[in-house]
Structure formats: C-alpha cells, structure tokens
C-alpha cells in the first residue's frame, strides 16, 4: 500500500507539474457548461433536473480520458523509463492500479467541479437527488471502463497518438453499439445484443435513478477485462524465452479471469429484479397499492406482452422496459400472476388467436430504412386477462412521445405501473359478480327502508308494499343480504328521526300530496359501515330496486370504472361589427379525451330531466345559459350524494368583433346563485400574477428573401402559474403536481358561516405578487406600459387569491324555498322522464360526505389555450389535465390509483425566473468555474517555480 500511494502521488505530480491537469479540467468544464446551458437549453426547458449534464458524458469522456491515458505507458516506453519502473520491488498489478487510480482521481476532481450545477438547480426547484447521485455514479463507472481501455491501448504502443486513436475508436464503438443508429439496421436479436454491450444504453439506465446489478457488473467487467489485459501486457515485458511455463500460466489465469467476468454478465442477464430504485418517489418500483391488489387475486391473472421482433426503431428500446416492469408484476404476484412476452409473427396459431379472440392486429409504423421509407407492421400490445374479462393496451396507452427543442422525437414509457394496475383493477372487478363482492366484504349488506307509513296516500302505500316484498325476497335468496323496515317515529326505533337528521343529515320529505305531514320514504344501503342513499328510477319495481342495489354495490369497489357526466357549453357563434358570423373559439376536446382515457365519459343534457343514476361525477365546464330545469337537475344530483365539479368562469375567450384577435367577454354564469347558496362565490374579477406562464408570440424574422416565423415567450399575467408552495399539499387532488396554470381565472370566496360545518379546503392560490381587475382587456399595451405590457398594481395591493376550492359535507337544496320547475304551470316533462320528476323526488339535503369542487377558471381546459401553452411548455398542459383527473378520483375517494399516477409522472419544474435572473445564475456558474481554474493554475504555477533542483553529483550530497 505504501508503494501504491507513492506511485499514485508520482503520477498526480506529473499531471499537476505540467499544464496537463489545467487543460483537462478547463476543457471539461467549458464543454460541460456549454452543453448544459446552451445545447440543452436548461432554462428554456424549465425542469429541475440534470439530464442535460449527463446526456453528453459518454461522448465527452471518450475524448478527454483518451487524452489523459495516452501517455501513461507510451511515454514510459518512448523515454525508456518503463524498464526502470519494472525493476522496482512492486508487481505489475500495483503499477497498473497506481496509474488507474491517478487517472480516476483526475476524473473525480473534474466531476467534483460540476457540483455547483446541481446546487444551482436545487436552489431553483425541487430536485430529485436520487437520479443525480446515480448519474455521478454512472459517470464514474463509465470513466473507469474508459480508463481501463485507455491504459491498455497505451501499453501496446510507444506512440501516444496511436494510443489516443485506439482508445477513441474502441470507446466510440462501445458507445454506438447500443444506440438506435446501430440497432436500426440490424436484426432484432443482434439489436438486443448490441444494446447489452453498449456503454450508453447502460449509462442511461443508471442515470435515470435505477441501480441495476446487471449494469454495475457490466461496467466492472469492462474495467476488469481491460485492466487484466493491461497487467498481462506489462507483465509480458518481464518474460524471457526460458519462462514459457510462467507465460502460459499467466495467460491462462488472465483468460480464466476474463471468462468469469463475461460469464457473470451472462448469468445475471435474466435476473431483472436485482436492482434498487433511488428516485425519491420510487418511480420505477411497484407500489404497495399494486402489491396489495395482486395479493388479493382469487383467480390466475395472465399478462401477455405481444411485441414483434421487427418494430419501430424508437419503440425497440422501450420493449425491454415494459418487459422489466412485467417481470416485477410476475415476481410480486407469485403463483397468482403469469407473465409472458411473445412475438406473434413467429407463431401463426398464436397470431390467429390474438386476432380472432382479442382483436389484436399489427400496427403500421412508418420507418426510414437505409435507402427508402417503408411501412412496418408490428405488434406492440399488452393483453391482461382475468377469468372471462380482458383488456388490451396499445401504443398510445403504454408510451408517450415528446419533442425536444431541436426537433428530436423522444419515446418513453408513460406511467406504466399506473396503466397496468388500472387495467388489472378493471378486469378484476369487472369479473366479480355482486355475490362475489358481498363475499369479499366479509359481512352482510343491510338495506334499510326508512318509512313513516301513517298518512301516505294510496300510491305510496302500494309502492311501500312492493319495496318491502322485494327486500324480503332479496334477503331470503342470499346469506349476505339483510333487509329491515324502520319507522323513525316509532318508539325505540333503531334509527330515530333525531339521529337521521343530526348524525346522517337525512331530512324527511316536506308535506305534499303524498302525505299531509313530513315523511320518510328512503332506502339506505349499509356497506361495511358506509351508508349509501339509493333512488330507484323509472318507477318503483322489483327490477329497478334490484338494479340500483347491484349498481351501488359494484360502484363502491375501487376498480369499478367511474362514469363522468360532462356538461359542455353550447357553441354559440358571435357577430363581427360588420355583421359577419364569427365561429366560437372555445372547444373542449382535449379535456374530454383526457377524461375518457381514465373514466367512462358521457356528455349530459340537463334540460331533459334528472342526471342518471349511473353518473358518479357531474363535471360542469363553463356553465352558462342554464335554465331552472338544468339548475334543478344539478341540485338534485348533489342532494342524492353525487359529486359535483365546476370549472366556473365569469369570462370566456371569443374573437374580437372588430379585429378578430383573442379577447374576453363576460359569460352569464347563472350557476353563481346556486354556488353562493352553498357558500362559494366566484367573483366577477380577473386575477393577474407576476408569476405566470408565458404567452407564445409569433414574430416574423427576415432572412435574406425568406420570412421565418419564430415564437418568443411574453410574460402574460393572465396565465397564473401556481407552484406547489401555493397548493394544499396534503390534498390528493394536487398530490405530485409541481405546477398548474389557470388561465383567465377569477378569485373564489368561501363563506365561513355557511361552511362552518363542512370541510372546506382552498386547493390553489395565486402568488403574493397577484392582483385583480374588472376590466377584461387581455391584449398587452407596450406603448402605455413599456416594461410589462400591463398596468401592474402597487406592491401593497398585491396579495394571493384563492382560485380553487373543495367542500365536503352536507348541503341544503337550492330549491328548498324555490318551486320545482317541473311543477310550474306549462312545464311538460319530456317523455323519457315521465313519472320521474314529481314533487315526490325532491330531496332537500344531501348526505354528510357529499363532495363539491369549484375551480375559478374554465379556460385552463380550453383547446385553444392548451395548444398555445403547448408551444412553449408541454408539461403545463399535462399538469392541467392531470389535475382534473385527480379531482375526479378525489370526488370518488379512489386515491389509491391517484397516488400511483402522481409518483409515476412527477414533473419537477424550476421556479419562475426573469431573464435577468436566469443570466445571473448562469454567469454565477461561469464565474465559479473560472475561479476554480485560476486556483488550480495558481497552484501549478507555485509548484513549478518552487521546485528544488537536484544536485549534479548525488555523491557530494550524501557526504
């Protein structure tokens, strides 16, 4: 060890005793900072991550390490000092390790000089330190392999340039082996092999935050192989012609060592589970929700991946990631889960079964081959089967496609665990019958018929007898179902009237033609302690009662696919000042598609009658022009315990009647009165915020005779940028969301008195630098306000404003003191609602756990606004849509899948920065790097001027 330290010190002194170290570190820092801030456009990307730092490391290190290692042995051979070095009382292994360690110390020092970058990013956003640490580890492992290669190349020649070229060529071949550039033009089996030996593909695997033992052993194998060859190369100089046996023994031992290193990789290759996920939210590991679901299976779950060997080149690397995740399900599920990854093109019977039984057909992909474009039909599906239920996942479900600023298309997995677990839940709970669900609850379900029979009219008494007969039949036919009739006014009643009103929030119906006094005529289903009011529709009959009971039981299961009733505003064209008809700008296809990917979505017509019982969540977007019939339908849906989400807005986008430019117009939000009745007021104001998402402005630029259009980011205070510090972090609806943009938002006020007994939560706030206006002038005026384009309120006026709220509790009907519109003179119920909309159906209060959410913006879901934001910041669009999906899950108390979606799709954004602040942080990193280089140069200068020369005659020095 003493000899090793001395040799390492000698090598380091040779670096720092010349400009070599300064040149190496300087080039490394310049290239790193340039690629990070300019090539990768760190601030333009807006993400708090260091992928831009590590992306170029595999290429950069090839050249820099080649320059460091080229002289290690070549210079020793050229100058004749190698023979002297070999006469020292140290072995060849020690000599090789000393040179290896000295170069690695230089590389580690260079990496240490980049630490100001992650520190900067951490100050500007919520960075995940797991992938950062993994990235540095991957860089060191890759460097070790390159150093071993460089030392071996240097040991085989006395020409430094030749050593440099050999290292660059071999290192480049290892890098490009696993890239799509190489795998695109070779057979699939060869492509998998090339990815397995490619340094870059392994580097990216570690750099994302997954420490796979196979990747670690791969890099250690490369390092070990090259160092072994290096030791053998140096040791061969010691051999003489009379030592053939020694030479053969050392060659044999070296060959065995190399063979064992290679075989260890082959042995580990199928072991996909030997890995550690170091990301903060364990993004690449199965969650407890998934493991619990797999443990609860009572039938075998079969997951089959259908992937063609010849597929699109950009999809080929993703297949291995899907296979790895399916392997995780296989391991976690044990005997309950069977996983296969198959290629249907190799088995005609399999392909025929996939097509005829499950409707799985190959997908045509357009690809660029070596000499021409072509269409390649290939399979890219995952089939999930459970008993008689199945779901097929395709490309759009499994991957997402993004574009870099340079136009490069990236394909990556899209919340794969969430997609798979959600699909498994659907098939599992879709298979379960009502009896199976009741059996899984472990205790009987009780149907309580709460009725005060004293003064009911003849029809109500007939209905009462029918309900009692049906309930008794159901109880007699199933050991898991109990039925009881309860008169709340009877002495000693199980559920007295006071308990129903005070504990359950269940008010009696008011006096009417059904009964001269208030009365109960309610059906309550008790499912494992959770109470559910049920309302048979289509008239009271055995079938309607049984149907609503079955639907209620199944709907309580977490895997049941929820149905969202979506109300969209009518498309009403406007007129220009010249009388020309202008098409409306607003459309909502993106949010409808986003909701449809997670839930059953049904566009509802509130004018035609009540909201159907199958609707779990009613989602109103920009409610306007609503009649009393629509308000009544909304009110009664809420009173039945349905969840209501309102994207309310007092303003809507429309073309300006004179110029045709984007403008805002007031919208008749006649839902405001109902919301105010529940203690929520959407103010007729607009919020402006200095912390905002930029507006893309198309600016033409003249290049010779050609006009080029460019987008530039304009600070736009009407696009309120809400970060995690302005969210209610403990609320599941915003869990895992780094930012949300609310466009043309209105502030929301919660009445504390009306909501005193409810759980009211403000979900979203604007920043402290926000203010309000009642003037909907959304076009910037740089002549009047040259700095910002808008009149900025004084600092003492600016404050944060609530922009989204949720309320949970019991609500009183808006129509308690208002007439039922269907009973007004002249109101004729539609044919499909005949007999349903009578005073008998009016409910005056909701259950205690009813949920209402109100967002002070509808335009944040408008297609035009989303397309505008997508030009500059794609992630903000994703966040807005995910927020809506989360709200639906929260409204149904289905937070298990929500947690998987949040952790698998976390986007870490930078804090909003002005251009001056961005420049300041960038320059700060340049200054720190320059100061470090100056210090290193000073040390080198000091050492070079203070060296003590050796005496000419060593003998005299010894006297």
**812-825 residue pLDDT tens:** 999 888 888 877 65
Kindly indicate the confidence band of residue 426, based on its pLDDT and cuts at 50, 70 and 90.
confident
Q: Which structure tokens are listed for 99? A: 């040179």
Determine the pLDDT at residue 841. Answer: 59
Split at pLDDT 50, 70, 90, the class of 240 is: low
Please state, in angstroms and rounded to a whole number, the distance separating the CA atoms of residues 126 and 132: 12
Percent of the chain clearing pLDDT 90 (strictly above) = 31
What pLDDT is recorded for position 536?
62
Bridge partners (DSSP) listed for residue 381 = 306
Tokens representing 366 are 């357009």
- What's the whole-number mean pLDDT along residues 22-27? 88
Ordered DSSP codes for 177-217: HTSHHHHTTS-HHHHHHHHHH-HHHHHHHHHTTEEEHHHHH
Given the candidates 3.40.50.2000, 3.40.30.10, 3.90.550.10, 3.90.480.20, the CATH classification of the domain at 288-431 is 3.40.30.10
Domain ranges of the chain: 2-278+915-945, 288-431, 435-555, 563-683+728-767+802-903
Nearest to 525 by CA among 420, 449, 437: 449
CA angle 390/391/392 to nearest 5° reads 130
pLDDT at site 165 = 94
First vs last C-alpha separation in the chain? 32
Indicate the pLDDT class of residue 79, thresholds 50, 70 and 90.
confident
Residue 873 scores a pLDDT above 80? no
Rank 124-138, 274-288, 321-335, 941-955 by mean pLDDT and report only the highest: 124-138
Count other C-beta atoms under 10 Å from residue 129's C-beta: 14
Does the pLDDT of residue 636 top 80, yes or no?
Answer: yes
pLDDT computed for residue 436 by the predictor: 58
What is the rounded average pLDDT for all residues in the chain? 83
What are 567-605's pLDDT values in tens digits?
A: 998 876 666 555 566 666 778 999 998 898 888 899 999
Domains 288-431 and 435-555 share a fold: yes
Q: If pLDDT is split at 50, 70 and 90, which confidence band does 809 have?
A: very high
pTM of the model: 0.69
3 state SS for 518-559: CECEEEEEEECCEEEEECCCCCCCHHHHHHHHHHHHHHCCCC
Predicted local distance difference test score (pLDDT) of residue 956: 44
pLDDT in tens, 510-569: 777 777 888 888 888 887 677 777 766 555 667 777 777 776 766 665 555 688 999 998
For residue 174, what pLDDT is reported? 92
CB 869 within 8 A of CB 713: no
Furthest C-alpha separation in the chain = 132
Average pLDDT over residues 139-161: 93
Please name the fold of domain 435-555.
Glutaredoxin (3.40.30)
Bigger pLDDT: 105 vs 431:
105
Radius of gyration of the chain (CA): 36
* pLDDT for 657: 66
Please give the structure tokens belonging to residue 662: 């984007």
CA distances to 469, 480, 481, 482, 862 from 476, in Å? 11, 10, 8, 8, 53
486 pLDDT above the threshold of 50:
yes
């Amino acid at each position: 060890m003493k000899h090793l330290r001395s040799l390492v010190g000698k090598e380091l002194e040779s670096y720092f005793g010349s400009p070599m170290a300064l040149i190496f570190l300087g080039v490394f820092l310049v290239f790193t900072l340039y690629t990070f801030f300019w090539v990768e456009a760190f601030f333009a990307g807006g993400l708090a991550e260091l992928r831009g730092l590590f992306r170029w490391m595999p290429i950069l290190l090839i050249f820099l390490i080649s320059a460091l290692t080229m002289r290690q042995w070549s210079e020793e051979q050229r100058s004749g000092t190698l023979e002297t070095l070999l006469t020292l009382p140290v072995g060849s292994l020690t000599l090789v390790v000393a040179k290896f360690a000295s170069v690695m110390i230089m590389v580690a020092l260079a990496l240490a000089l980049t630490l100001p970058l992650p520190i900067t990013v951490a100050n500007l956003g919520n960075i995940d330190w797991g992938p950062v640490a993994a990235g540095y580890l991957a860089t060191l492992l890759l460097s070790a392999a390159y150093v071993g290669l460089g030392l071996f190349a240097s040991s085989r020649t006395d020409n430094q340039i030749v050593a440099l070229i050999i290292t660059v060529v071999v290192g480049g071949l290892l890098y490009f082996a696993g890239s799509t550039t190489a795998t695109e033009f070779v057979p699939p089996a060869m492509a998998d092999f090339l990815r397995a030996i490619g340094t870059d593909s392994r580097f990216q695997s570690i750099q994302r935050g997954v420490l796979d033992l196979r990747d670690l052993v791969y890099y250690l194998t490369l390092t070990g192989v090259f160092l072994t060859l290096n030791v053998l190369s140096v040791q061969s100089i010691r051999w003489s012609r009379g030592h053939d046996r020694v030479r053969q023994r050392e060659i044999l031992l070296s060959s065995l060592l190399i063979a064992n290193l290679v075989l260890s990789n082959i042995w580990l290759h199928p072991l996909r589970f030997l890995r550690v996920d170091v990301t903060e939210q364990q993004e690449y590991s199965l969650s407890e929700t998934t493991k619990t679901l797999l443990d609860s299976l009572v039938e075998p779950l079969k997951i089959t991946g259908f992937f063609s060997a010849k597929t699109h080149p950009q999809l080929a690397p993703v297949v291995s990631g899907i296979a790895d995740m399916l392997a995780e399900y296989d391991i976690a599920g044990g005997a309950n889960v069977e996983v296969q990854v198959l290629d249907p093109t190799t088995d005609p019977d399999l392909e025929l079964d996939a097509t005829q039984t499950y409707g799985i057909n190959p997908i045509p992909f357009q690809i660029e081959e070596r000499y021409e474009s072509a269409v390649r039909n290939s399979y890219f599906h995952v089939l999930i089967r459970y008993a008689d239920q199945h779901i097929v996942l395709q490309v759009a479900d499994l991957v997402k496609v993004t574009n870099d600023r340079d136009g490069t298309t990236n394909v990556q997995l899209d919340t794969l665990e969430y997609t798979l677990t959600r699909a498994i839940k659907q098939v599992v709970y879709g298979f379960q019958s009502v009896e199976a669900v009741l059996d899984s609850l472990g205790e009987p379900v009780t149907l309580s018929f709460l009725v005060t029979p004293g003064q009911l009219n003849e029809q109500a008494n007939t209905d009462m007898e029918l309900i009692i007969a049906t309930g008794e039949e159901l109880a007699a036919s199933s050991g898991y179902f109990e039925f009881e009739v309860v008169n709340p006014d009877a002495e000693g009643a199980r559920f007295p009237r006071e308990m129903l009103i005070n504990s359950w929030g269940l008010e009696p119906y008011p006096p009417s033609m059904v009964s001269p006094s208030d009365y109960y005529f309610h059906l309550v289903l008790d499912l494992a302690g959770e109470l559910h009011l049920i309302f048979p529709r289509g008239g009271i009959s055995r079938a309607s009662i049984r149907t609503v009971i079955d639907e209620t039981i199944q709907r309580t299961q977490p895997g049941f696919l929820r149905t969202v009733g979506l109300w969209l505003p009518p498309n009403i064209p406007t007129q220009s000042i010249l009388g020309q008809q202008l098409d409306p700008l607003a459309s909502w296809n993106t949010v409808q598609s986003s909701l449809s990917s997670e839930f059953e979505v049904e566009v509802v017509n509130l004018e035609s009658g009540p909201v159907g019982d199958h609707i779990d969540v009613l989602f109103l977007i920009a409610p306007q022009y609503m009649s009393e019939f629509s308000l009544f339908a909304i009110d009664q849906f809420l009173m039945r315990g349905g969840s209501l989400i309102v994207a309310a807005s007092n303003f809507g986008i429309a073309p300006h009647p004179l110029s045709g430019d984007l403008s805002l117009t007031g919208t008749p939000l006649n839902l405001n009165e109902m919301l105010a009745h529940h203690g929520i007021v959407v103010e007729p104001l607009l919020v402006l915020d200095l912390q905002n998402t930029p507006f893309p402005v198309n600016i033409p630029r003249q290049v010779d005779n050609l006009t080029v259009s460019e987008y530039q980011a304009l600070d736009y205070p009407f696009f309120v940028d809400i970060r995690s510090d302005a969210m209610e972090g403990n609320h599941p609806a915003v869990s895992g969301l780094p930012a949300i943009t609310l466009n043309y938002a209105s502030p929301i006020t919660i009445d504390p008195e009306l909501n005193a007994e409810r759980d009211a939560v403000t979900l979203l706030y604007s920043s402290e630098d926000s203010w309000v206006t009642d003037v909907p002038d959304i076009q910037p005026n740089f002549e009047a306000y040259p700095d910002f384009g808008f009149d900025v309120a004084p600092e003492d006026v600016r404050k944060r404003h609530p922009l989204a709220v949720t309320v949970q509790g019991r609500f009183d009907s808006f129509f308690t003191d208002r007439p039922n519109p269907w009973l007004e003179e002249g109101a004729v119920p539609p044919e499909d609602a005949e007999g349903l909309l009578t005073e008998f159906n009016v409910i005056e209060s909701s259950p205690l756990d009813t949920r209402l959410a109100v967002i002070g913006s509808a335009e944040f879901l408008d297609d035009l606004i989303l397309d505008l934001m997508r030009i500059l910041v794609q992630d903000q669009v994703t966040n807005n849509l995910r927020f809506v999906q989360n709200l639906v899950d929260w409204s149904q108390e289905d937070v298990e899948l929500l947690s998987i979606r949040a952790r698998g799709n976390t986007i870490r954004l930078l804090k909003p920065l002005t251009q001056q602040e961005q420049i300041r942080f960038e320059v700060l990193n340049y200054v720190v790097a320059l100061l470090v280089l100056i210090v290193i140069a000073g040390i080198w200068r000091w050492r070079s001027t203070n060296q003590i020369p050796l005496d000419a005659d060593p003998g005299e020095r010894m006297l």
